[in-house]
């Protein structure tokens, strides 16, 4: 029996937990998928047959599936739990990798960070960048030297985020507006600015939150929604990560102390004229 739970979904990708409770040595009926897929095993073992090649898969060995590729599966060791990530061509960025993927410690960590980001709620930036890192580890592109247009690209991305343009709400839509792939935008931005797009965007949003708190805004849930956070808890986590304070503590820090009423200086009594004893 196969069950799947979608953890996050956008037009460019889906992240799902797939659990199989099957226990059989025979190969399943052939199946094919439309897009690129990366499947990483969390628990258990199973076998995959694709393009006439068999692979034994476990937490140290995943696989990349290509569009239209015919697959069969067998589960001689019982059930398993996997993470399945589907990519649109724009996120896959022309990579040609397919077949089995060795899961080293770095890829294992990247996998866990993807799952943590999916739980965190920031699907459009934090999770997207973690997925781009996952793709880079499984099928890295050729090395690319910095070019003059890289600075212009990073500057345009910064301007879009600061100006709050609608396309800047999602990393993938921002990349489309700038006419580059999401992977290229993420990589170039980090190289040029020194921080990730997610970190930079959150820094801008934290500054806006401080502006609103200075102005006396008290509705944190509404503020979180307006600034594009998943919820008030997401706003609180992000503010604490960047500043070490919660929004409530920031409000106290940013509220000027009450002004004391100014008192007029006490009137000084005039000195009495002395009597002229010489008279």
CA dihedral 3, 9, 11, 13 (to 10 degrees): -70
Q: Which CATH superfamily is domain 2-138 in?
A: Regulatory protein AraC (2.60.120.280)
What span, in angstroms and rounded, lies between the C-alpha atoms of 241 and 23?
A: 45
How does pLDDT run across 84-124, given as a tens digit for each residue?
999 887 777 666 566 888 888 889 999 999 999 999 889 99
- Asked if pLDDT for residue 235 goes beyond 90, the answer is yes
How does pLDDT run across 29-75, given as a tens digit for each residue?
888 888 889 999 999 889 899 888 888 888 988 999 888 888 989 88
213 backbone dihedrals φ, ψ, rounded to 5° = -65, -35
What span, in angstroms and rounded, lies between the C-alpha atoms of 4 and 86?
A: 13
Where do the DSSP E strands lie in the chain?
A: 2-10, 13-20, 36-44, 46-50, 53-57, 61-65, 71-74, 80-87, 99-102
- Of 10 and 148, the one with more pLDDT: 10
- Asked if pLDDT for residue 141 goes beyond 70, the answer is no
Average pLDDT, the chain: 85
Domains of the chain by residue range: 2-138, 148-254
What span, in angstroms and rounded, lies between the C-alpha atoms of 230 and 92?
A: 26
The pLDDT of residue 275 is 45
What span, in angstroms and rounded, lies between the C-alpha atoms of 42 and 5?
A: 14
Give which of 131, 120, 112, 115 is closest to 229, Cα–Cα: 120
First to last CA, the chain: 124
Q: What is the mean pLDDT of residues 137-144?
A: 68
CA dihedral 227, 229, 235, 241 (to 10 degrees): -100
The pLDDT of residue 272 is 47
Q: Locate 172 and state its tokens.
A: 């993938």
Tell the CATH topology of 148-254.
Arc Repressor Mutant, subunit A (1.10.10)
Q: What is the mean pLDDT of residues 144-160?
A: 84
What span, in angstroms and rounded, lies between the C-alpha atoms of 209 and 50?
A: 51
Pairing of strands 80-87, 36-44: antiparallel
Q: What is the mean pLDDT of residues 254-276?
A: 59
Which pTM was predicted? 0.74
């Amino acid at each position: 029996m196969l069950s799947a739970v979608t953890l996050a979904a956008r037009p460019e990708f889906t992240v799902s937990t797939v659990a199989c409770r099957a226990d059989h040595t025979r190969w399943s009926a052939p199946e094919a998928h439309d897009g690129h897929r990366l499947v990483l095993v969390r628990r258990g073992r199973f076998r995959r047959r694709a393009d006439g090649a068999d692979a034994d898969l476990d937490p140290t060995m995943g696989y990349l599936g290509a569009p239209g590729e015919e697959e069969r599966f067998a589960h001689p060791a019982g059930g398993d739990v996997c993470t399945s990530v589907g990519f649109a061509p724009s996120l896959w960025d022309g990579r040609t990798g397919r077949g089995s993927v060795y899961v080293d410690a770095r890829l294992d960590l990247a996998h866990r960070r993807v799952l943590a980001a999916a739980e965190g709620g920031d699907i459009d930036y934090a999770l997207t960048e973690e997925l781009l890192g996952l793709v880079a580890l499984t099928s890295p592109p050729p090395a690319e030297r910095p070019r003059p247009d890289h600075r212009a690209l990073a500057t345009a991305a910064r301007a879009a985020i600061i100006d709050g343009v609608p396309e800047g709400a999602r990393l993938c839509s921002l990349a489309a507006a700038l006419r580059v792939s999401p992977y290229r935008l993420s990589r170039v931005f980090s190289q040029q600015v020194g921080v990730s797009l997610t970190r930079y965007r959150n820094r801008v949003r934290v500054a806006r939150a401080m502006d609103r708190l200075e102005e006396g805004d008290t509705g944190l849930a509404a503020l979180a929604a307006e600034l594009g956070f998943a919820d008030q808890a997401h706003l609180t986590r992000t503010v604490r990560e960047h500043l070490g304070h919660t929004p409530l503590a920031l409000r106290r820090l940013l509220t000027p102390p009450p002004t004391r009423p100014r008192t007029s200086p006490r009137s000084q009594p005039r000195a009495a004229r002395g009597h002229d004893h010489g008279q």
